[in-house]
Amino acid sequence: MGASVRALRALLLLAGFYLLGLAMLAVLAGVDWAAALWAPSSLAVKLYVVSALLAVPIVRGMFMLRTPKDDAAHGVLVTDAQEPRLWQEVRELAAQVGTRAPDEIRLTADMNASVSEEARFLGLLGGTRRLHLGLPLVSGLTEAQLRAVLAHEMGHYGNADTRLSAITVRGRVQVARTIAHFEERAGGKVAKERARQERKNEKKLAKGKKAKEVDTTGVGLTYRSMAKVYKAYGHFYLRATLAGSRRQELAADLAAARIAGRDATASALREIPALDSAHDFYMNAYATLGVGAGLLPPPGEVFGGIRHLLAARAGELAELRRELPTEPASPYDSHPPIAERVARLEALPDDGRASEPAGPALGLLADPGAALVAVEQASLTPEALRLRRVDWPELVHVSMTAHFAQEAEPLRRATAEVTDGDGSLDALLNALDLGVGWEIADRLPKSDQAGAAKGRAAREFARPVLRRGLSRMVAGELIDRGAARWELSWSESASLRMPPGHEDDLPAALDAAVADHPDTAPLRRLLATV
């Protein structure tokens, strides 16, 4: 099949995507017309109502087919004057690929780089071309690797010989986006209904009535079923164009290898999944660690801090680079599995470019620090921007202390209830000595199995919960007295530094305090020596 025939087919398929809604409306209209002709009037009226109900999501769905414009452009726009080296690099790459250079470069906070076009006329004509460049990705790549990634992205719009195939790419993006949008709408409806029912339940509880189970099964049904129809067509579209798209991806890889070098391209591909999981981990375990305590790392570090993690965990990253995903990321993904792409690239003859200098890609920016700060300002929500900024060691110490205090809270409250006091560590230790520890433990949250257990078995379920809460309270006490401090580590989890000897003696002291014959003396001795 020639390129032009393929493009024509893609065009028809894309048109079909838009015609789908019209066709469904036509079917409904036909049914109504038939009913008006042959059915008794009572039945006809019912049919009118049903078809009107069905038509609503179809009509709304057709409006949804338009690409939501707001997600097209985001990030920080940088001009030629601001980032001359970056622009020069991108222009050179575009020339080598044989395509038009982007009209805009925007720096983002994503672990990703992409070239997109604000398509006009149902996605058939190109518009403003944008390069979205995620700074976390730039932080993790060398210059040569970044060049390979950009060459690949521009290669999609490039291949001068198959210019028409751009239609397939645009169509694919459009289909995936529409489906995602539909699902989001259906999901939003469900969330709204859930919130409404939960509010109602709260009112019921306030009046002393029993709350009903929240049930959202029927909600968003019309949207979900519409999404199903479009999804089915989307699958059909993607299957019909998949082979071609995969071929294009591999061609783009080859173009990238030609421009950036075989080894840089292959290593960039190996790097991306590793960086992806490192980024997820970083955002969860470091960047947002202090949000609960109202803290963020210093300006520029929210997205830029990943550099410390990447430097400290080189071994783990090497492990991740070795294990490449062998499945495509999603059924809508036009990319062949990364393992396959890397294997193809590494099978190419050596181009002798492995020894080319490989400085960090961040060096392409005029002032990486300033760029990271600017991206933070543009991508964080106003609420997040209002959080207090503290340096990393302080952030870890304060957040972990708050986290531990929160974990100790149920035990503190249970102790206060049982001893009719303030729920302090001292009160808990006295309660343990008096043998009411199990009574306190009984008020802590339980699993189903623990709740069903009786007698000694119930105690065995409660023991680790009680011990954990006690250890949190002891840690809080040591921190309050300035005897212990949380220590940041980029290569492993944060750890609580205690006075010498305490770390070794604490586990046994905790065990003794929650034993069947509780003995709090070792714990009290430990606390007395700080």
Which residue in 5, 329, 366, 457 binds another protein (CB under 8 A)? Answer: 457
Q: Nearer to another protein by C-beta: 10 or 465?
A: 465
Which residue from 72, 122, 229, 453 is in contact with another protein, where contact means CB under 8 A?
A: 453
Nearest to 274 by CA among 380, 145, 90: 145
Nearer to another protein among residue 215 and residue 460 (C-beta): 460
Q: What is the C-alpha to C-alpha distance for residues 403 and 413, in angstroms, rounded to an integer?
A: 16
> Do residues 471 and 506 touch, judged by C-beta distance below 8 A?
yes
Stretch that binds another protein, among 70-78, 307-315, 429-437, 457-465 (CB under 8 A): 457-465
Is 357 a binding residue for another protein by CB under 8 A? The answer is no
The minimum distance between CB 516 and another protein, in angstroms, equals 8
CA distances 419 to 60, 407, 444, 476, Å, are: 61, 20, 15, 20
- Count the site residues for another protein by CB under 8 A: 17
With binding defined as CB under 8 A, does residue 445 bind another protein? no
CB of 458 to another protein, least distance (A): 10
Q: Which stretch binds another protein (CB under 8 A): 129-137, 384-392, 461-469, 470-478?
A: 461-469
Per-residue mark of binding to another protein, 4-43 (x: CB under 8 A): ----------------------------------xxx--x
Q: Would you count residue 455 as binding another protein (CB under 8 A)?
A: yes
Rounded Cα–Cα distance for residues 172 and 166 (Å)? 10
Q: CB 512 → another protein: shortest distance, Å?
A: 13
Q: Any contact of residue 48 with another protein (CB under 8 A)?
A: no
Is 281 a residue that touches another protein (CB under 8 A)? no
Q: How many CB atoms lie within 10 A of CB 40?
A: 8
Residue 460 found at the interface with another protein (CB under 8 A): yes
Q: Select from 199-207, 281-289, 305-313, 451-459 the region that touches another protein (CB under 8 A).
A: 451-459
CA angle 79, 82, 88 (to 5 degrees): 75
Q: Does 2 bind another protein (CB under 8 A)?
A: no
* Smallest gap from residue 423 Cβ to another protein (A): 25
Answer for which of 326, 330, 355, 449 binds another protein (CB under 8 A) is: 449
**Nearest to another protein of 392, 461 (CB atom):** 461
Q: What b/e string do you get for 80-94 counting C-beta neighbours within 10 Å, with b at 16 or more?
A: eebbeebbebbeebb
C-alpha dist (Å) from residue 181 to 18, 49, 175, 176, 213: 15, 27, 10, 9, 29
| Paired sense of beta strands 129-134 and 104-108, if any | parallel
- Looking only at the bridges linking them, the beta strands covering 485-487 and 495-497 are antiparallel
**Cβ at position 40, least distance to another protein in Å:** 6
Contact 176/332 with Cβ under 8 angstroms? yes
295-296 vs 388-389, strand pairing mode: parallel
> Is there a contact between 97 and 66 (Cβ–Cβ < 8 Å)?
no
Which residue, 437 or 476, is less far from another protein as judged by CB?
A: 437
Nearer to another protein, 23 or 508 (CB): 508
Taking CB under 8 A as the binding criterion, the range among 91-99, 258-266, 370-378, 455-463 that sits at the site for another protein is 455-463
Which residue's entry shows tokens 């395509």?
99
Q: Does position 69 bind another protein by CB under 8 A?
A: no
Q: Does 450 sit near another protein (CB under 8 A)?
A: yes
Block residue for tokens 């790459």 = 93
- Tell me: does residue 325 bind another protein (CB under 8 A): no
Burial degree of 388 (CB within 10 A; 0-12, 13-18, 19+): exposed
464 binds another protein (CB under 8 A): yes
Q: Does residue 435 touch another protein according to CB under 8 A? A: no
Q: Do the Cβ atoms of 516 and 527 come closer than 8 Å?
A: no
* Residues near 298 by beta carbon (within 8 Å), at least 6 away in sequence: 389, 390, 391, 392
Interface with another protein includes 456 (CB under 8 A)?
yes
Q: Locate 309 and state its tokens.
A: 């993690």
Other Cβ atoms closer than 10 A to 6: 19
Complex with another protein: residue 106 or 472, whichever CB lies closer: 472
Residues in contact with another protein by the rule CB under 8 A: 38-40, 43, 447, 449-450, 453-457, 460-461, 463-464, 516
